[in-house]
Amino acid sequence: MKKILIIPILLFLVILKLNAQTEKEIKAEIKHVTVFPDRAQIDQEISVSLIPGKTILKLSGLSPYIDPQSIQVKGFGEFTILSVNQQNNYLQNLEDSPEVKSIRTQIEELKIKVEDEKAAIKVLNEKQDFLIANRAVLDKKTTFTIDQFKSVMDMYTTNIEQVTITTLKKERLIKDYEKQGNALQQQIADKLGKQKLPSGEIFVTVTSEKQLTGKFTFSYVVSNCGWYPSYDIRVDDIKNPVTIFYKANVFQNSGVAWKDVKLSFSNATPWVAGDIPVLYPWFIDFYYPRPVMAKGYGAASKRSEAPAVMKEIAVSDASEEKVLLAAPQVVVGKQVGETTITFDIAVPYTIPTDGKIQTVEIQRLTAPADYKYVTLPKLSQLAYLTANITDWAKLSLQSGEATLYFENSFVGKSTLNVNQLSDTLTISLGNDNSILVKREKRKDFTSKKVIGVNKTEIYSFLLTVRNNKANPIKITLNDQIPISSNSGITVEAIELSGGKHNAETGEIKWDLEIKQQETKQIILTYSVKYPKDKTVILE
């Protein structure tokens, strides 16, 4: 009878053992990080020993800024992944960075020094109490010679003075140590905020029929990080190509440091919806303003109301505002997709989680350029050098700040704007003092005349460009004449010296080639006719 009872119990224990779930905490190494403009994709991998049955793997020590929708877990081996979940553990904090650990060590050392000084002060206080207690011997009716009395007084005075001064110095040291400790505590508070970040965790439930070692890869997207491009643009002289140093400025404050990881920089925005927007019918109708009630008709509450259309505009603006607020050469390879570009960096980098900018060179380009000077003497008597690059789309550039160097000298900063439809990219390289530009009014040819009911004003200018360089240059000279916006005003170009006049914008352009040490002069003359009883401001 006992044997019959033992068999079901054993079967029940076996079933419990088979259905039991083992939780196993794992730490996966970050292998690769793909940085997007305002977030990053983290790739980790690990090999795990699995036992028969169900096992819950807990990957901890992750960033608390994980996008749960982006988590991907892949397994390689004879096991099955049953579920994947993510949470933030507020009872377990992320590990301190090396910098924070160093500060905490300094604070502990200061605390030990304070304890030592306080212990020394306690001993000094005991000594002081002893001296004061034995001072009573002088009050007793004991016969002292003058020399004995003097010796006792000197001993007491010397010792009590030494104790007092030493105690004072140690109290000052304690204040200094405490001040240093408070400053270090504030430094930690500035780095960590009011409280430490929670630890992100990913739970993976797997089942296996036998004991084995499986490989897992984890991929997810975190926020509080990103990158933006910048450039160093160098031109040795206008006979050589342009050299462009393409740099990525990366930052991250995700809570987890990226230690010796392979980096990739992508201009993709995978979080932006890729669906084509739908153009719905646009209905319009006449606008009938709401009548304003006269004062005294009991409609005071309605008088302050805005018309319905204004209310709709206000709502629209508010919703729009919410949308806006819501949202050496080291490249080992460049992946150019249909809509994205990704740069793979060969050298591993360490990016701490401190929000500071780190600059990584991702590409060094050399592009042939057509160099041309541009000047607008009406606004500035300077000549600006530009480099015009054709087929610039093949360079995979993005808009960003550029630092300019010309003839191995810092010129200034500019903006590289690639958001243009032209097949030629124009880069400004700053002004060149070797090109002299001047714009003078020709007083003898400038006049004001009244003929009949009209007044005619004639303006004439002499534009001078001199090339003091040792080589010929190409320069585009720009000026303008006014455009009439009234039928009563007539503007006429009298002399343009071969310049190309855009009648719509009033701009005049001269494309000049000037030899070394050569001076060229351009004459610009125009007239403006309008009724004499009217006023037109031309200067």
pLDDT, tens digit (0-9, with 9 covering 90-100), for 132-164: 766 665 555 456 666 666 666 667 777 777 888
Q: How crowded is residue 91: how many other Cβ atoms within 10 Å of its Cβ?
A: 6
Q: Which CATH architecture has domain 435-531?
A: Sandwich (2.60)
Give the up-direction half-sphere exposure of residue 101: CA atoms within 13 A in the CB hemisphere. 5
Q: In this structure, which amino acid lies at residue 181?
A: G
Q: What is the pLDDT of residue 136?
A: 60
- Show Cβ contacts of residue 354 under 8 Å, excluding neighbours closer than 6 positions: 97, 99, 191, 253
Pair 519, 465: CB distance under 8 Å: yes
Q: What is the residue whose two structure tokens read 């000084």?
A: 117
What pLDDT score does 317 carry? 37
Could you list the beta-strand ranges (E) of 338-442: 341-345, 349-351, 358-367, 370-375, 383-390, 400-406, 409-416, 424-431, 435-441
Per-residue pLDDT at 215: 92
How high is the mean pLDDT in each 10-residue block of the chain (539 residues)? 50 48 85 92 92 90 90 91 87 64 82 86 80 63 62 72 84 86 77 66 91 92 92 86 90 90 87 64 61 46 35 34 34 59 89 89 87 91 88 79 86 78 78 91 90 90 93 92 89 93 92 94 93 84
How would you label 332-351 residue by residue, b for 16+ Cβ within 10 Å and e otherwise? eeeeeeeeeebbbbeeebeb
Identify the CA nearest to 58 among candidates 86, 33, 81: 86
Q: Where are the domains of the chain?
A: 19-94+197-222, 99-185, 225-327+331-431, 435-531
Residue 93 structure tokens: 């904090």
pTM of the model: 0.60
For residue range 445-464, list pLDDT tens digits in order. 999 888 888 999 999 999 99
Nearest to 111 by CA among 33, 211, 185: 185
pLDDT recorded at residue 326: 29
Residue 403 in tokens: 């630092």
**Which amino acid belongs to residue 335?**
Q
pLDDT at residue number 118: 84
> How much is the CA Rg of the chain, to the nearest whole Å?
41
Q: Which residues contact 51 (CB under 8 A, 6 or more apart)?
A: 22, 208, 211
